[in-house]
Chain A
Amino acid sequence: MKELLDGLDRAFENKTRLGIMSALVVNDRLDFNALKELLGATDGNLASHLKSLERSDYVVYEKDFLDRKPNTTYYATDLGREAFKKHIQAIEQLLKKL
């Protein structure tokens, strides 16, 4: 049981972070507002969870200007994709044993 739980990634324990990663692995890129609409999160909440995923090197961002307004686009890194895949596999293993 303990080894099974070890497979789970702490970074994805939170619903918002799990949601961010789910969206970023199936899209090449998403901007802040698209993520916000998708997950129904507040600006502050979303920003803090994105920051935490950045610190784990699971997502990176790029800043540019869209119609003269600053726009932040997020990408999942290879490390993040791999971690997400492992996390899902761990959940599936866990569900088989439970």
Chain B
Amino acid sequence: MKEKYIEDLSDIKKIMDRSTRFLSLSGLAGISTGLSALVGSGVAYVVIFKGNDYLVPGAVEIAKTGKAHLLLIALGTLVLSIGSAMLFTVRNTKKRNQRAWNAQSKELLVNLLIPLVTGGVACLILLSRGFLGLLPPLTLIFYGLALVNGSRNTLPEIRNLGLIQIFIGLAAFQFITYGLFLWVLGFGVFQIIYGVIVQKKYRQ
């Protein structure tokens, strides 16, 4: 009889989690987005930042082609990371016999996108006016806020990853010249570390 009630309580908890959280987020998605960020920032360093003092608090003089290249590199990185993250996550949902597009993943997506799109638009405006130095801190901070906001709807570890990104973003505001390095640390290194943690913990 005791076992029946312990099982009841564990069932209740499972259903509450499953009905509010999208738990099939793949650790491999974290690793692949981190690797995409490393590649993207490497290309950006070679093409844009190497030999130029663009990472300063104010606006810089940069040719239109330079802005276009940076935008292109950012878009490429975004497509690569979102594409690979979706691939691994959809594969994970199939393994668990769940649908990738359900009430929980929709809620997660909406909650991630609100801070993310806000930050994205703000960064596009800043880029068009030449404020390159503000892009690393702001992308980190808005990404961190998006993760904290979305963490209610997915694996609880995501909240801490979000807080780390916010913290690194604030550091990048203080040390603007080190922006690219801190960007690599947040979007690359910590993203990969969390991917590995999630992958190990949930044995996907």
Contacts and interface: CB of A to CB of B under 8 A. Distances in A.
Interface residues of B, number: 16
A30 interface: yes
Contacts of B20: 26-27
A19 B11 contact: yes
Given A19-B15, A23-B16, A95-B2, A34 B9 contact: no
A83 interface: no
Interface residues of A, number: 19
Contacts of B103: 30, 34
A90 B38 CA distance: 53
Contacts of B6: 95
B129 interface: no
A39 interface: yes
Contact of B15 (A38, A91, A98): A38
B102 A37 contact: yes
A30 B15 CA distance: 13
Nearest to B1: A98
B9 A88 contact: yes
Overall SS of chain B's interface: helix
B65 to A, nearest CB: 46
Nearest to A26: B16
A18 to B, nearest CB: 6
Nearest to B7: A15
Given A34-B19, A34-B102, A88-B12, 7 more contacts: A18-B8, A18-B12, A30-B19, A88-B9, A91-B9, A92-B9, A98-B5
28 contacts: A15-B11, A18-B12, A19-B11, A19-B15, A22-B11, A22-B12, A22-B16, A23-B15, A23-B19, A26-B19, A26-B20, A27-B20, A30-B19, A34-B19, A34-B102, A34-B103, A37-B102, A38-B15, A38-B18, A38-B19, A91-B5, A92-B9, A94-B5, A95-B2, A95-B6, A95-B9, A98-B1, A98-B2
